[in-house]
Homo-oligomer: A and B are copies of this chain.
């Protein structure tokens, strides 16, 4: 079964209510009621330090061990509760069909982008999203992308990894004139090579891509048997420009978790739109790497830490064989954690055990049970 990503993106709160994660651990005392609190600039909730702490030796002269732990805890709780931020990137863009052509419209414009609660950066975005909306077509489709430029600079769109006729390649002064402020340009081509690709600016690109002009371009194979079977999929666009270290335009704790059920096959599409490598480490479960830049590998291989370089895409399958909340982050540790808690390129893969869920009589009872056993799950107020 192939569930698309929009179906997979159920509400976290709804999910958590309906699941006992079966990860009962040691009892935690002193739980903060800090769910959803505003994180400070480095990822830890700003009000964490205001809580009463036990006294232990100061680890760095500036805070005690308990103070540090409280900040880390508050970040995790904020993530669990779901950090509310304005805007969500990588949302599916529905085409209109004109004479059999799938027509997508992209408008480039400035935007204030909230990459974490209360933290904003001046972005340039496609359709007010960072990353831009996901364009998804099927091999063989005729695709038209109409780009309108409402930026103060010229721009152009390159379909990174997609095989197109040269004049649709999006490189100003090489294959087309730049799209001046106020102008539009229409790209049209047949989607020939299936896989996980990208689109982004190819004009003044260090700045323009850095400011947010980037998105996923996915070509589904006509023959699904040419890819591994999977039940649920997520795209992870890695970045290190706008808003610092981000996954799909948000930094921890405002990142979204990946959610699957025990026994499901999960597909992850990695795309690096940043300037640094990001070796992505999934805890607990190996990743079966089966495609590079949209091309199936001759033989898939397993890993737990996948090094994704700028411009690369990698596709993996995770066999969700172990229930729990699995940390998932870049393993360049300074992209993921500081003294005030985790930040940046951190999320979690949550694998729900339906059998455990079935034990309760109601979703509320199940949620209560989960809260009692798993410190990861935040108390409802």
Contacts and interface: CB of A to CB of B under 8 A. Distances in A.
Report which residue of A26, A77, A210, A337 has the largest number of chain B beta carbons within 10 angstroms of its beta carbon. A337
Nearest to A173: B76
A76 B174 contact: yes
A277 interface: yes
Interface in A319-358: 322-327, 331-334, 336-339, 348
A73 B72 CA distance: 49
A307 B313 CA distance: 11
A333 B174 contact: no
Contacts of A169: 283-284, 324, 326-327
A175 interface: yes
A107 to B, nearest CB: 17
A323 to B, nearest CB: 7
A286 interface: yes
B309 A301 contact: no
Interface in A182-218: 193, 202-207, 209-210
Interface stretch (A51-59, A86-94, A126-134): A51-59
24 contacts: A24-B167, A25-B167, A25-B175, A26-B177, A57-B152, A69-B154, A73-B173, A77-B173, A166-B324, A169-B283, A169-B327, A173-B375, A173-B376, A204-B337, A204-B339, A206-B334, A279-B311, A292-B303, A294-B304, A298-B300, A299-B299, A303-B312, A307-B309, A310-B331
Given A22-B166, A169-B324, A281-B311, 15 more contacts: A23-B165, A59-B152, A65-B152, A72-B204, A169-B326, A173-B376, A204-B337, A205-B336, A207-B339, A275-B332, A275-B334, A286-B295, A299-B299, A305-B310, A310-B333
A372 to B, nearest CB: 14
A311 B336 CA distance: 13
A174 B301 contact: no
Per DSSP, chain A at the interface is loop
Contacts of A311: 279, 281, 304-305, 331
A321 to B, nearest CB: 9
Report which residue of A283, A294, A299 has the largest number of chain B beta carbons within 10 angstroms of its beta carbon. A283
Interface of A: 21-29, 56-59, 65-66, 68-69, 72-73, 76-77, 151-154, 158, 160-161, 163-167, 169, 171-178, 180-181, 193, 202-207, 209-210, 275, 277, 279, 281, 283-286, 292-295, 297-305, 307, 309-312, 322-327, 331-334, 336-339, 348, 375-376
A292 B171 CA distance: 30
Given A23-B175, A302-B293, A333-B209, A312 B279 contact: yes
B325 A161 contact: no
Nearest to A167: B25
A311 to B, nearest CB: 3
A311 B283 CA distance: 11
A76 to B, nearest CB: 4
Given A305-B311, A307-B309, A56 B172 contact: no
